[in-house]
């Protein structure tokens, strides 16, 4: 998920009352909820799509879930001591307890891969012990309704706290509503995917879409070997949208495994990709894409150019 969502989760946990456990609890919760994304630093030294093979990996795995909170708690504990020595420590700050700081940072850090699991991008929850990708297919990577619910709950909690009211209640209500919303979306995705997997005879992915949590883009591979999508599907009682051809993946005729051994871009893409497809674009060249990310605005981040001789046969996607 996006970092605003992660931050709001940390803030709500704190406003639920945990920020009173120790000094610097809120920084531990909010920073901890975001800290696994330190792997974004790889964007400064990798080329092209190689970041896809690095992101959401070892910093989201079990070792990091212990080590990162430990480092964060140690850094905040040192910062409190440093301020005290300089005489700049705020008088109203609670005493800082290292064990409590670590426990809060650990809780917040655990929330990060849990949220990342909810979308179709995936997360490697067992890295470095296993490179398997896990997918929740529950929420779009940016969910404005989560922003609204959690943002309003955080604002109301802070407002009540300032006025001396029951400030914990709005935070807990926001967390409960958030969990119910996530549960409802998980159920929708599972029902759509299961129904179409049975109907089509192949595994279907129910990918959440922006803004409308009732809809899913259903992605599947047809009997002809082509990838298809039913965009914006809303269930069996709604009018079905005709199947739209979105690309080709004719693996027997493409030497992608061979190319991946000499091209780190292709290797990284295939390692990350869940629904890879080879597409012939307007100028006749071939590109490697993923059916989850076909938005033209995502071309630079989720596309790899292939040599003209990469495939001996690729159907024209515009052909009937």
Return the pLDDT at 284: 75
Q: Are residues 115 and 69 in the same domain?
A: yes
Give yes or no for residue 11 having a pLDDT over 90.
yes
Give yes or no for residue 215 having a pLDDT over 60.
yes
Q: Are residues 115 and 196 in the same domain?
A: no
Domain presence at residue 121:
yes
Whether the CB-CB separation of 220 and 205 falls below 8 Å is answered with: yes
Domain presence at residue 156:
no
Mean pLDDT check: name the lowest of 30-39, 169-178, 251-260.
251-260
| Burial (0-12, 13-18, 19+ Cβ within 10 Å), 71 | middle
Question: What is the average pLDDT across 41-52?
Answer: 89
Boundaries of domain holding 289: 249-306
- Per-residue confidence band for 224, with pLDDT thresholds at 50, 70 and 90: low
Q: Are residues 123 and 207 in the same domain?
A: no
- Domain boundary among the residues 246, 268, 287 is at 246
Domain presence at residue 292:
yes
Long-range contacts, 289-295 (Cβ 8 Å, 24+): 289/247, 291/205, 291/219, 291/227, 291/229, 291/246, 291/247, 292/120, 292/121, 292/205, 292/207, 292/219, 294/229, 294/246, 294/247
- For strands 276-280 and 286-290, give the pairing: antiparallel
Q: Are residues 242 and 295 in the same domain?
A: no
Domain presence at residue 111:
yes
Question: What is the average pLDDT across 281-289?
Answer: 81
The total number of structural domains in the chain stands at 3
- Per-residue confidence band for 251, with pLDDT thresholds at 50, 70 and 90: very low
Mean pLDDT check: name the lowest of 34-43, 55-64, 90-99, 286-295.
286-295
Give yes or no for residue 217 having a pLDDT over 50.
yes
d(CA 40, CA 43): 6
Q: Are residues 194 and 254 in the same domain?
A: no
Is this prediction's pTM over 0.85?
Answer: yes
């Amino acid at each position: 998920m996006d970092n605003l969502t992660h931050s709001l989760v940390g803030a709500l946990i704190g406003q639920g009352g945990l920020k009173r456990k120790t000094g610097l609890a809120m920084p531990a919760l909010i920073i901890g909820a975001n800290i696994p994304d330190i792997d974004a630093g790889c964007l400064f030294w990798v080329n092209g799509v190689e970041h896809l093979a690095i992101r959401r990996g070892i910093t989201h795995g079990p070792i990091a879930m212990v080590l990162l909170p430990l480092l964060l708690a140690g850094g905040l504990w040192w910062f409190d001591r440093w301020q005290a020595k300089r005489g700049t420590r705020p008088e109203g700050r609670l005493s800082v307890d290292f064990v409590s700081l670590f426990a809060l940072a650990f809780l917040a850090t655990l929330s990060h891969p849990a949220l990342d699991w909810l979308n179709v991008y995936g997360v490697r929850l067992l890295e470095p012990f296993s490179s398997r990708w896990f997918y929740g297919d529950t929420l779009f990577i940016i969910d404005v309704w989560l922003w609204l619910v959690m943002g309003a709950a955080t604002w109301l909690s802070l407002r009540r706290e300032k006025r001396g009211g029951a400030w914990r209640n709005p935070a807990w209500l926001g967390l409960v509503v958030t969990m119910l919303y996530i549960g409802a979306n998980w159920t929708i995705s599972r029902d759509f995917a299961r129904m179409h997997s049975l109907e089509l005879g192949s595994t279907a992915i129910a990918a959440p879409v922006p803004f409308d949590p009732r809809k899913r883009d259903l992605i599947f591979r047809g009997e002809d070997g082509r990838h298809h999508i039913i965009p914006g599907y809303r269930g069996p009682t709604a009018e079905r949208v005709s199947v739209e051809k979105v690309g080709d993946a004719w693996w027997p005729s493409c030497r992608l495994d061979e190319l991946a051994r000499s091209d780190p871009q292709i290797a990284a893409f295939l390692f990350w990709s869940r629904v890879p497809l080879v597409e012939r674009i307007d100028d006749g060249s071939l590109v490697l894409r993923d059916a989850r990310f076909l938005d033209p605005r995502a071309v630079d981040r989720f596309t790899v150019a292939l040599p003209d001789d990469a495939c001996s046969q690729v159907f024209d996607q515009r052909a009937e």
